[in-house]
Amino acid sequence: MPFALTKSRLIILGLAALVIVFFILLFMGVIPGLNTRPPAAPQVKLNVWGVFDSNQVYDTLDASYRSHSPNVQITYRQFDPSTYETDLINALAAGNGPDVFMFQNTWLPKHADIITPVSETQLPYVKFRDAFPQVISEEFAPNKIIYASPLYLDTLAMFYNKDIFDKKGIAIPPKTWTEFIATVQKLKEIDVKTNKIIKAGAAIGGSNQSINRGTDLLTLIMLQSGTAMVDKDFIRARFAEAVSSGKQPGLDSLNFYTSFANPSSPTYTWNENLHYSIDNFAEGNAAIIFNYSHQIDLLKKKNPFLNFGVAPVPQIQDTPQPITYANYWGLAVSNKSKNPDWAWDFIAYVTMSDATAKKYFEITRRPPALKTLIGENINEPDFGVFAKQSLIARSWPEIDNNAVDNSLSNMIKSVITGQLSALDSIKKAEDEITQLMQKNR
C-alpha cells in the first residue's frame, strides 16, 4: 500500500524536522544562552622575568603548566641580579615590562604600586595562608590581599667547619648564643702579643664590607631579642627605643653583635681587615659563618675539599619563641599586564601545586615553601636544616631594602671604628629609616 501523507503524519514529520534544526542550531551556538559547548580558550602569551633561575628551570615549569593550560605560552628572560630591580622598574614605566616577575620578599612596601593582586575568587586567602609558613602570608599577603606567591623559602643558618670543630674537641654546634660565645672562645686563634686574628672563631661583628649578610645576622639577633623594628602603623622605625621594662633590646643586640669585632672585648674574633667572610670560610680561616642555602654550592666550588656542616642559628637561652631570618623570592603580576587572570593562573599553578613545586626544588635545590614539601625534606642532608627553620622564619617590613641595608651596615661600621657610640649610632640609623618611611608615605 503506498505511503500516504496524512495530516497527522505531516504534523509528526514537521515536528521532527523542527527538533533536528533546533539541535543543529544549538550545537552551532546560534541560539543565545543555550550553547552548552565550552568556548575555546584564548591564546595567551605571558612574559616572565627572573633573576636566579635559568631557562631550563622555566622550560620545566612551562611544560608542566601547559599540560594544565595548553593555550598559554610562556617566554622567560633571566636578568643580572645587580641591575634587575632597575631594569624592571624602567621597563614597566616604559610600558614594555613583563606580565609576571620575580619579587623579593622585602619589596612590598616600596613596590606594591606595580603589582596586580590576585582576586579572592581566583586564589582564596585562607588557602594561601594555610599552604605556606606564617612569614609568607605576613609579607606577601598583608591585610589578606595576596600580592605575590613564593617559589621557595630560604633562612639564615650556621655553617661550621667540621675539621676545625674536631681539632678543638667540639662535638656539637652551639644551640644558644651563650653556647656560641663559649664555642667561639675555643675556636679562635689570636696572637697574644699582637692581638692579630690568625683564625676567626666566627664571621660576626663586622659590617657588610667584610661579612656577607652581616646586617641580616644583626637583624635576626634584634628580632630574637624582641626588638620592634617599626611601629604598627608603619610610620616610623623604632628599633632604638626602650620597651616597657626599660630595656633597649635593639641597642643590646647591637652591642652584642659588635663585641665580636671589638679588640678589647673577650669575645673578639673578627675585624674588617680580614678576607670577606665567604672566602675566609672557604679558605679554612673562619670556623663559622651565617648564610643561606644557596651558598652551599658556592662553597663547594670554591673549595671542593672543605668539610663543613650546616646547623640551625643559635637562639636565646630558654626562649619561648625560636626565630630565624627569612630570605626568598616569589612571583607577582604586573599592573600593566593585559592578561592578569592568566598570569595569576600560572603563578598559582607553579607555586601551589605539589608536583610542580617539587620539580622546582629538584632542579634548583632551593628549600621548598609549601608546607607539604617542607615535611618531606626535614631529614634531607643538605637542606633539612632550612626546611625545619622555615616554620620559625620571620622578617620585617622594610621601606627600601637597599637603603635599610646601607643604614644598618653604616651603623655597625660607626660603632666598630669608634666614630659613634652604639647609642648614637643606632639612633642615627633609626632616624634615617624613619625619614625614608615618611618620605614615601
pLDDT digits (tens, 9 = 90+) for 155-166: 999 999 999 999
pLDDT band at residue 404 under the 50/70/90 scheme: very high
Superfamily name with CATH number, domain 155-326+399-439: Periplasmic binding protein-like II (3.40.190.10)
Q: How far is Cα 302 from Cα 296, in angstroms, rounded to an integer? A: 10
pLDDT band at residue 428 under the 50/70/90 scheme: very high
φ, ψ (nearest 5 deg) of residue 161? -80, 110
Residue pair 46/97 in contact (Cβ under 8 Å)? The answer is no
pLDDT digits (tens, 9 = 90+) for 220-262: 999 999 999 999 889 999 999 998 778 999 999 999 999 999 9
User: What is the average pLDDT value for the chain, to the nearest integer?
Assistant: 91
Asked if the model's pLDDT at residue 17 lies above 90, the reply is no
Q: How far is Cα 62 from Cα 57, in angstroms, rounded to an integer? A: 9
pLDDT digits (tens, 9 = 90+) for 59-69: 999 888 988 89
Q: Which long-range contacts (CB under 8 A, 24 or more apart) does 360-365 make?
A: 360/57, 360/60, 360/61, 360/151, 360/152, 361/152, 363/56, 363/57, 363/60, 364/52, 364/53, 364/57, 364/152, 365/293, 365/297
CA-based nearest residue to 288, from 349, 199, 223, 390: 199
pLDDT band at residue 39 under the 50/70/90 scheme: low
| Predicted local confidence at residue 33, as pLDDT | 44
Superfamily name with CATH number, domain 44-153+328-394: Periplasmic binding protein-like II (3.40.190.10)
Asked if the model's pLDDT at residue 27 lies above 50, the reply is no
| Predicted local confidence at residue 280, as pLDDT | 98
HSE-up of residue 349 (Cα within 13 Å, Cβ side): 17
Helix boundaries (H) for 119-167: 125-131, 134-140, 162-167
pLDDT band at residue 3 under the 50/70/90 scheme: very low
Distances (CA, A) of 354 to 219, 326, 329, 341, 371: 32, 21, 18, 21, 10
Q: What is the mean pLDDT of residues 193-206?
A: 95
User: Against a cut of 0.75, is the pTM above it?
Assistant: yes
pLDDT digits (tens, 9 = 90+) for 102-154: 999 999 999 999 999 999 999 999 999 999 999 999 999 999 999 999 999 99
| Predicted local confidence at residue 26, as pLDDT | 45
| Predicted local confidence at residue 378, as pLDDT | 86
CA-based diameter of the chain, in Å? 130
Intervals of CATH 3.40.190.10 along the chain: 44-153+328-394, 155-326+399-439
CA-based nearest residue to 181, from 257, 68, 123: 257
